[in-house]
Amino acid sequence: MITKNRCKKHREDLIAYMDGELSEKQARRVELHLEECPGCSAELAQMKTAMESLSLWDAVEPSADFDRVFQRKLNAVRIDEPETRKWAGLYDLFKTLVTPRFTLAATAVCAAVIVMVSVFTAGIRTDIPQDQLHIATDMELFLDLEIIENSEALENFDVITFLDVLEQETNG
């Protein structure tokens, strides 16, 4: 007569037996028990049926718009995800930029900019009278206007008197 305890021990091994995980010796012991125990044999049969029915669950295919939806999500990540790839890109850029050749080139560019800025500033200073002349020349337009021509009061203004002097200078 088979005791319940013996069955309990063998039942623990049934799955390992079914999956072929037992040593030859252990497997043989289980088989000997199965030959004389209908309860454990039935248990093994049920287990095999259950595991076989797991295979009935067929694999599914991704839906038709799976890729499209994913690429859309990925684009959103690319836009608001600076901390990983974008920062890695910036770091790479930084690494390529900070080379001796780049430093030399940058210094040269800075020097050129400083020179150009000082020339330009100096140019503005020497050009002051010409600048005024420019404004004064435009004043001619106003003189052509009837209102200004008729306005004696305006002619008395220093600026406009000065305008004649300037005009003579440019023409002369």
Partner 1 sequence: MRDDPHIQLMLAFQEGDEAAFQELFQIFKKPLLNFVFRFCQDRRVAEELTQEVFIRVYRSAASYRPDAKFSTWVYRIATNICLNEMRSGKYQYERSFYGYEGDSSHVTLESTVADKTPNVDDRIEDEESSSTVRKAIAALPDKQRIALLLSVYEQIPYKEIGERLQCSEGAVKSIIHRAKLAVKDILSKELKK
Number of other residues whose CB lies within 10 A of the CB of residue 43:
16
Instruction: Find the part of the chain contacting Zn ion (CB under 5 A) among 2-10, 56-64, 85-93, 154-162.
Output: 2-10
Residue 7's binding partner among Zn ion, partner 1, none (Cβ under 5 to 8 angstroms by kind) is Zn ion
Rule CB under 5 A: is residue 7 a binding residue for Zn ion? yes
56 binds partner 1 (CB under 8 A): yes
Q: Per CB under 8 A, does 46 bind partner 1? A: yes
- By CB under 5 A, residue 139 contacts Zn ion: no
CA distance 72 to 95: 32
Binding mask 104-143 for partner 1 (x = CB under 8 A): ----------------------------------------
Out of 23, 57, 121, 130, the only residue in the binding site for partner 1 (CB under 8 A) is 57
Q: Is 54 in the site for partner 1 (CB under 8 A)?
A: yes
Q: Residue 64 belongs to what H/E stretch?
A: none
Amino acid residing at 35: E
Q: Is 85 in the site for partner 1 (CB under 8 A)?
A: yes
CB atoms within 10 A of CB 160: 16
Contact in structure between 15 and 28 (CB atoms under 8 Å): no
Applying CB under 8 A, does 63 fall inside the site for partner 1? yes
**Can you state the angle between helices 128-144 and 158-171, rounded to 10 degrees?**
110
3-state secondary structure 12-24: HHHHHHHCCCCCH
